[in-house]
Structure 1
Amino acid sequence: MQLAQRLSAAVCLLVGGALAIGYLSLPPSTASQLRQYDFSAAARNFDVEIIRDDWGVPHIYGESDTDVAFGLAYAHAEDDFATIQDVILATRGKLAAENGMRAAKTDYLAQWMGIWPAIEQGYRKLPQHTRAVAEAYATGLNLYAARNPGDVSRYLLPVTGEDLVAGFTFKAPMFYGFDRVLGELLDPDAVHEVAKSGQDALAWVPERRLPTGSQGIAVAPHRSGDGATRLLVNSHQPLTGPVAWYEARLHSSEGWNMAGATFPGAPVIIHGHNEYLGWANTVNKPDLADIYRLTINPDNPDQYLLDGEWRTFATREAHITVKLWGPLHWTVTRPIRIAAHGPVMETEHGTYAVRWAGMGEIRTLGFMLALNKAKSREEFEAALKMQAMPSINYVYADREGNIAHYYNAMFPRRIEGWDWQKYLPGDRSDLIWDGYRDFAMMPKTVNPDSGLVFNANNPPFQSTDGNDAPRAGDYPGSMGIESHLTNRALQIETLYGSRDKISPADFEQLKYDHHYHPDAFQARALRRWLASEKPADFQREPYRSALAALGQWDLSTARDNREAALAVLTLQPVQDAAGERVPDSAIDRAFREAVDELVASHGSATVPYGQVNRHVRGTQDWPLDGGPDTLRAVYGGPLNSDGRLENHAGDSYIMFAEWDAEGRVHSRAVHNFGAATLDDTSPHFADQAPLFAAEKLRPVYFYREALESHVSRRYRPAQQP
């Protein structure tokens, strides 16, 4: 269950309990806001040229980094302003003012996390360059809003640099599963066991849910066969929404020279390459959040027990504004309690304080700017040493032939001897950690002898096909490093690892592998289930034939495979459990539903997979290979009324970069849809979708001389009327 659902009870309390202090209001009009601020005058401070290539991808050229940030914001707003606006409103805790009660949960979370007190305290202490880039990006958004007032929320203007910095503070913890942690806390049916001192702590933390995924692979010159260094950038994200990829090319005369992709509201390239180096991001999910069960004073509910003494909660107020109808809005206020550990949640089963990696962290934008402008492995590692990104793996390559995997995380400095996976007693201050472990403790694999590094959401102890990966025994259990082994990691190690030399063709072809490994948890679960006793009705048609077909499946998810659709649907509960034991009854139910739905929609339970597995954009769709946790990652489902799985996450923006023997970089890429995120009248709304479905790439025009013969539009937004 998602966090939005978990927070329902909390928000009902928020609204229901606050009606007495709520009030109705009419928000200011967008027109009055535009009269108040002269956004066009501020924009004239930036000199930037936007060149759209023949795929509609914006190439941003400016003298300064701030020129480029301004141009990136304007170009991205042209293609996806509505999503950027929602991201900013959510970060402010004002999304419900625009979208109604369904967004109130997100608003409460943003305010509960204390994002804005951290911004108010620290924003002016950030380096001037970081603030200037954020404020230039904000100016680009404001200019677009001024020219398109009909698209603008009454609660948006003006966008500020603080909004962009705060966006990272809000979203970054979600990548390691902070929302899942809160969701489980608020689930009255979850087990809430409190840890005891001296319990054995596991070195690896079992992952409870299968991540959507990602993979990054790098090959060193001595392994490539032609002397090149190669990098695969292959993050798996939702295909639309606030964390969907947007491609751009950035170039400033101050040394910002990136090609790659970013998220709505992010003033940087999040992954890609410059002329010197590049990196791929994959999600990692170490245990970085702790929950403390508090003891409340029975005589004073405003106090909690800590080290034998009653302490009084600090408080701040959450103000939730909800759109009712027309221009009417309702604002309610509710106090947020804060213990020494962190903010407090009151639930049906107790009162808890929460502490997490990245709480109050506002330096993430500066960290990412440092990555964007790094020119060497030393500069790249210097950025990582800032410890300003709560989690995320980095698979790295550069023109000098260096390759590396960094299991990046802000690991809390916890004491040993406790099971930090369980809820902790809240009455001991020695369990309230302060600060993070040094960069030296980050698991990393740098220039292994085998010449291959990879990550596919697997533990850092399996980062290469040689013997140079970190050893699990060298890392204490309190670091909470995950243990779940994905099919994709097994396939990378097997397929790439089986080649003495990994040719350019191998490097690309193997990325699109469609198979499950025989030792993957999906294949093992299927074999176990097939050997188990089945319900009596499975001896009747069409179940009997479908069961026999499933027993012959070759573990492929190629579009012409006739058992793949049945297998993927049957294994859905296994996917959801991420390798943990699933009751036979759950797989029985998934199998029965899959057979019934496939027969009803397609006339047979064994149908070419490409008829079921579809890549959909607007009114068009294309057949797809691939499935959940395959190297050709496709996450669809459930089956729609036409009996199709519509692709909604997984492979999205894909980039192959290489530095040749002379150190010159070249890259090719593909986006799942196209540059025009929301404009279905644009030729770039779905122009890359056929390439994506066919597993093909297009060139990235990294160099200006290559771009000039592929220009579709050229303009300077600050100089437009």
Structure 2
Amino acid sequence: MRAVLTFSLLLTIIVSAALVGMPPPVSKQVAAGSYIEQAQAYDVEILRDRWGVPHIYGVTDADTAFGLAYAHAEDDFATIQDVILATRGRLAAERGPSAAKTDYLVQWMGVWEAVERDYPKLSANARAVAEGYAAGINLYAAQNPEGVSRYLLPVTGKDLVAGFAFKTPMFYGFDKILGELLDPERPREIARSGTEALSWATRESLPIGSQGIAVAPHRSADDTTRLLINSHQPLTGPVAWYEARVHSQQGWNMAGSTFPASPVILHGHNESLGWANTVNKPDLVDIYRLKVNPRNPNQYLLDGQWREFEKRKARIRVKLLGPLHWTVTREILLAEHGPVFETEHGTYALRWAGMGEARTLDFMLALNKAGNRAEFEAALKMQAMPSINYVYADREGNIGHYYNAMFPKRIDGPDWRGDLPGDRSELIWGDYRGFNWVPKTRNPASGLVYNANNPPFQSTDGDDDPWVEDFPVSMGIETQITNRALQIEALYGSRATISAQDFERLKYDHHYHPDSYQVRALRQWLAAEKPQRLQQGKYGAALQSLARWNLSTDSENLQAALAILTLAPVQEARGKPVPNGEIDKAFTEAVDVLHRFHDGVEVPFGKINRHVRGAQSWALNGGPDTLRAVYGGPMNEEGSFENRAGDSYIMLVEWDRTGRVRSRAIHNFGSATLDPQSPHYADQAALFAAEKLREVPFARAELEENFSRKYRPISATAPAPGADR
């Protein structure tokens, strides 16, 4: 009996200790806070158009940000909450051990040290926008407490600024590089969709691609400037697009789309100009192999002297079971180069573009409010966005491509792509190259600019794009040319003038270029000697079928499914050599699974390539790295694969010869991200699958003629009943 009592007492002590510091229930937090009272300071009206897309009208920029946050929370509060918790390094407190690595990474990167240091240095308007957005989230949470984490309230402006500091390096692959350093056999990255959203999970190989195309008036058939905004993102999760229109009396006037917990439009247009973003991946991370003092593990060698590591603590609160939580403490070492990782194969310090950068919100607001090319470029000159291409167009007929990045000022000579010796201080760069070093193409003679994740030296169909010889190797500019880039130049470039119909139709091209790395790899593999078993029976017949493929991914194509499945390892390698044995394996697995589900390999591709939303499903054209980008898989138990990423939010913008702007767009599903009962859960999906666009009302008078709902957030809904966590 005494032993039982002792164990019971010990368990009580453990549980009590684990509960120390746990926030009170959300109902008490809401009662103790003044979130509804604070919201009354914001003057904003939300009009939902016939598609449920919110059009936000505020007096000030902060009012508008407040309304944007509230509207987005109505449609996707759960994802916004996850993003904010992850940015704080508190996601594991809600999600459990699977998110602990992400929480550690936030603290290891020093995100919050940078935000606490630099938040007061942001412009007053940027802080007001961040705090307005935070107030919109807090109001929605106070009105709808049933889905709110104990660890969320209050959201602050600093949370939104920290989100940029944490996420922007991931777009050039910082997390993948870090994952490969820590675990070369099973590299990891920040998961961007699915059930592991925002955990540091094994790589899913979903693309973060995109394409942007701009045509000047003299290349158009009707003297119109056109811009294609066509980002390739996961269809759900923390970096899935959300469409909105924002307007304030302080000159903020954008239509486009954004991510959860981002208080600005990330790409789109205002009345004067617009831009498309595509991911670029120059070498922006440097890894230094440190020599640690064998007699004192707290020291590392630099310039012939032993230096002491600086240290800070990472504290990670992890949900274990029910209310039971535990706080794990880890030490973080800091060298002069940057934060340190100790691995089985050595001790490394890392330095990366954008480390300690907290000005991104100011930069994005400057882009949103730019009225001409000079103001747009002035924002780029801030150098507050670590990477990302910009394809630009405006009502004056200017077009351009900017291979934007914060290029470290590195010395020439070392191989910056490999591990660097950590004992030489001249290898520790401290600044970035100026805007004049950004590869750019402005108003080329041909009247066409584009980017599809290709090098900046191929940005127009003429000869006035940048020359590779003008840029040092130490800038680490990528060299891989995508299939989409080849197709853009072949299709758009073959036309002396580009009509409105051609501009839109060619965007939905379904083909691989004969010179693409995918087709070259397939032809080499088909020509290579095959194992005897692949030359007979169903495999031999499948080889003959594959040899007849016409490089199309049209939904009626009979060879596309076999080709896409066979090319999976080639797509994964993204231009790097793939052993024939790996392609053999993918081919045999493809033949087996197609026979299993479809009794043969020649199946209309649309029967397999599906766009799925709830219980509805549509056939799709397109495949990986085609202009109609579709990334699906793996094959499910119905013998098809579900579209998971690629074409998502698409916008086509044009300024006619008078300077009047018009845009059309489509979202992959609809504005209601999480509510299957909403009429806007899948109301755009059929149009998306059919490769159609819809009109975007830009003038309020136009919207007033056909809106579905008009309201102010403070009176939108009464608090909903629900259990606290």
Fold agreement, TM-score > 0.5: yes
SS at match of 1:340: coil
Match of 1:197 in 2: none
Within a 5 Å distance, the mapping from 1:579-594 to structure 2 comes to 579-594=575-590
CA contact (8 A) 2:53 2:671 kept: yes
State the shift of 1:254 in Å: 0.9
Structure 1 Cα separation of the partners of residues 151 and 307 of structure 2: 38
State the shift of 1:706 in Å: 1.4
Q: Deviations over 1:386-420 (max 9, x none)?
A: 00000000000000000000000000000000110
CA contact (8 A) 1:363 1:388 kept: yes
State the shift of 1:539 in Å: 2.4
Is structure 2 residue 251 aligned with structure 1 residue 293? no
Letter of the aligned partner of 1:586 in structure 2? Answer: E
SS at match of 1:542: helix
Match of 1:460 in 2: 456
Match of 1:444 in 2: 440
CA contact (8 A) 2:214 2:226 kept: yes
CA contact (8 A) 1:210 1:575 kept: no
Q: 2:172 aligns with which of 154, 173, 176?
A: 176
CA contact (8 A) 2:43 2:59 kept: yes
Change (3 A) 1:399 1:353: same
Structure 1 Cα separation of the partners of residues 687 and 18 of structure 2: 53
Match of 2:352 in 1: 356
State the shift of 1:609 in Å: 0.1
Letter of the aligned partner of 1:436 in structure 2? Answer: Y
Match of 1:709 in 2: 705
Match of 1:83 in 2: 79
Match of 2:216 in 1: 220
Within a 5 Å distance, the mapping from 1:320-399 to structure 2 comes to 320-399=316-395
Structure 2 Cα separation of the partners of residues 324 and 210 of structure 1: 30
Within a 5 Å distance, the mapping from 1:109-128 to structure 2 comes to 109-128=105-124
Structure 2 Cα separation of the partners of residues 173 and 507 of structure 1: 32
Within a 5 Å distance, the mapping from 1:481-520 to structure 2 comes to 481-520=477-516
Q: 1:103 aligns with which of 81, 99, 104?
A: 99
CA contact (8 A) 1:315 1:337 kept: yes
Is structure 2 residue 623 aligned with structure 1 residue 627? yes
Within a 5 Å distance, the mapping from 1:540-555 to structure 2 comes to 540-555=536-551
Q: 1:54 aligns with which of 44, 47, 50?
A: 50
Match of 2:200 in 1: none
State the shift of 1:506 in Å: 0.3
CA contact (8 A) 2:303 2:424 kept: yes
Structure 2 Cα separation of the partners of residues 705 and 600 of structure 1: 56
Is structure 2 residue 270 aligned with structure 1 residue 270? no
The 10-residue stretch of structure 1 (123-132 or 458-467) with the greater mean CA deviation from structure 2 = 123-132
Letter of the aligned partner of 2:122 in structure 1? Answer: L
Give the superposed CA RMSD.
Answer: 1.2
Q: Deviations over 1:177-230 (max 9, x none)?
A: 001110111025599xxxxxxxxxxxxxxxxx8944100000000001101000
Moved over 6 A (4+): none
CA contact (8 A) 1:68 1:250 kept: yes
Structure 2 Cα separation of the partners of residues 354 and 360 of structure 1: 13
Structure 2 Cα separation of the partners of residues 67 and 591 of structure 1: 56
State the shift of 1:367 in Å: 0.2
Match of 1:639 in 2: 635
Is structure 2 residue 673 aligned with structure 1 residue 677? yes
Is structure 2 residue 526 aligned with structure 1 residue 538? no
Q: Deviations over 1:307-335 (max 9, x none)?
A: 11111111111011111111111111111
SS at match of 1:98: helix
Structure 1: 5+ residue stretches without partners: 1-18, 192-208
Structure 1 Cα separation of the partners of residues 23 and 256 of structure 2: 38
Match of 1:35 in 2: 31
Structure 1 Cα separation of the partners of residues 417 and 185 of structure 2: 17
State the shift of 1:423 in Å: 0.5
CA contact (8 A) 1:268 1:369 kept: yes
Structure 1 Cα separation of the partners of residues 459 and 420 of structure 2: 32
State the shift of 1:23 in Å: 5.0
CA contact (8 A) 2:18 2:324 kept: no
SS at match of 2:297: strand
Change (3 A) 1:554 1:188: closer
CA contact (8 A) 1:47 1:718 kept: no
Letter of the aligned partner of 1:604 in structure 2? Answer: G
Letter of the aligned partner of 2:549 in structure 1? Answer: W
State the shift of 1:505 in Å: 0.3
Q: Deviations over 1:234-261 (max 9, x none)?
A: 0000000000000000011111000000
Letter of the aligned partner of 2:582 in structure 1? Answer: A
Structure 2 Cα separation of the partners of residues 210 and 154 of structure 1: 32
SS at match of 1:467: coil
Letter of the aligned partner of 1:270 in structure 2? Answer: L
Match of 1:4 in 2: none
Letter of the aligned partner of 2:662 in structure 1? Answer: H
Q: 2:593 aligns with which of 582, 597, 611?
A: 597
CA contact (8 A) 2:207 2:645 kept: no
Structure 2 Cα separation of the partners of residues 695 and 137 of structure 1: 34
Structure 2 Cα separation of the partners of residues 592 and 499 of structure 1: 41
Q: 1:576 aligns with which of 557, 572, 581?
A: 572
Structure 2 Cα separation of the partners of residues 358 and 641 of structure 1: 43
Match of 1:663 in 2: 659
SS at match of 2:622: coil
SS at match of 1:331: strand
Structure 2 Cα separation of the partners of residues 245 and 506 of structure 1: 26
Letter of the aligned partner of 2:476 in structure 1? Answer: G
Match of 2:65 in 1: 69
Change (3 A) 1:715 1:190: closer
Structure 1 Cα separation of the partners of residues 597 and 318 of structure 2: 42
CA contact (8 A) 1:137 1:161 kept: yes
Letter of the aligned partner of 2:288 in structure 1? Answer: Y
CA contact (8 A) 1:24 1:331 kept: no
Compute the TM-score of the two structures, normalised by the length of structure 1: 0.94
Structure 1 Cα separation of the partners of residues 324 and 31 of structure 2: 22
Q: 2:399 aligns with which of 390, 396, 403?
A: 403
CA contact (8 A) 2:207 2:233 kept: no
Structure 2 Cα separation of the partners of residues 139 and 629 of structure 1: 40
Q: 1:314 aligns with which of 305, 310, 334?
A: 310
State the shift of 1:27 in Å: 3.5
SS at match of 2:610: strand
Change (3 A) 1:580 1:210: farther
SS at match of 1:395: strand
State the shift of 1:559 in Å: 0.2
Structure 2: 5+ residue stretches without partners: 1-13, 188-204, 719-725
Letter of the aligned partner of 2:99 in structure 1? Answer: A
Change (3 A) 1:210 1:166: closer
Structure 2 Cα separation of the partners of residues 541 and 96 of structure 1: 52
Letter of the aligned partner of 1:246 in structure 2? Answer: Y
Structure 2 Cα separation of the partners of residues 710 and 684 of structure 1: 16
Match of 2:4 in 1: none
Change (3 A) 1:42 1:190: closer
